[in-house]
Amino acid sequence: MMNVAGERDPQTLRQYLRDPRESVRAAAILNPRTPHDAVRALLSGKPGRAVRAALVLHPVLTDAERASLLRSEDRETRSVRIAILAAMARFSRSSAELAELAKHPAAPVLRRVASNRHTSRETRADLCHWSSPARIRARLPRLFPSTGRPADPVRLGILGQVVEHDRAENRARAHPRRPIAHLDRAL
């Protein structure tokens, strides 16, 4: 998997996209050097869970396609996507990306944001304040953030859309809408 993430040759990455193992195909999708036309071709087939979870985070998708994939996710695909987001939070060097991921409702993502040394002081303060579980506060390192990379605006936009979808889904689960509320009020 590590050689897929670090691969630089586009032809080799195209071969990885045809690999029978789904985890290898997903890792190739997440490699920014993978040719976009090859990634786009995966949409025409029937992608598996890991591939769908990786496709959601790829800039080749339009916002409408991404929203459609997110709406049609099952529980297992969502858990794979959360694992990918947690890995992104672990290895990210952009404090802006980490601040966006800190808004995610899933504890694995928050734990990785908390333990990343590139997380800004403000984001750590927010995690300490809003994420009351002690297991997350305990992972906040006493290090100050080192100089990180600037965020890629396209990737930041994708993360924002995905995080907002997950937050809305959690709110909907916590407070399901009552379809006949207007009838209750009328009575």
Structure confidence by residue, pLDDT tens digits, 88-97 = 999 999 999 9
For residue 137, what is the DSSP state?
H
Residue 130 pLDDT exceeds 90: no
Matching residue, tokens 């929203």? 67
Matching residue, tokens 């959360």? 82
- Residue 75: pLDDT band (50, 70, 90) is very high
pTM here is 0.80
Angle between helices 10-17 and 22-30 in degrees, nearest 10: 140
- Residue 180: pLDDT band (50, 70, 90) is very low
Tokens representing residue 19 in the block: 């690999």
| Contact (Cβ atoms closer than 8 angstroms) between residue 153 and residue 88 | no
- Mean pLDDT calculated for residue range 68-80: 93
Residue 148 pLDDT exceeds 80: no
| Contact (Cβ atoms closer than 8 angstroms) between residue 99 and residue 120 | yes
pLDDT at 186: 47
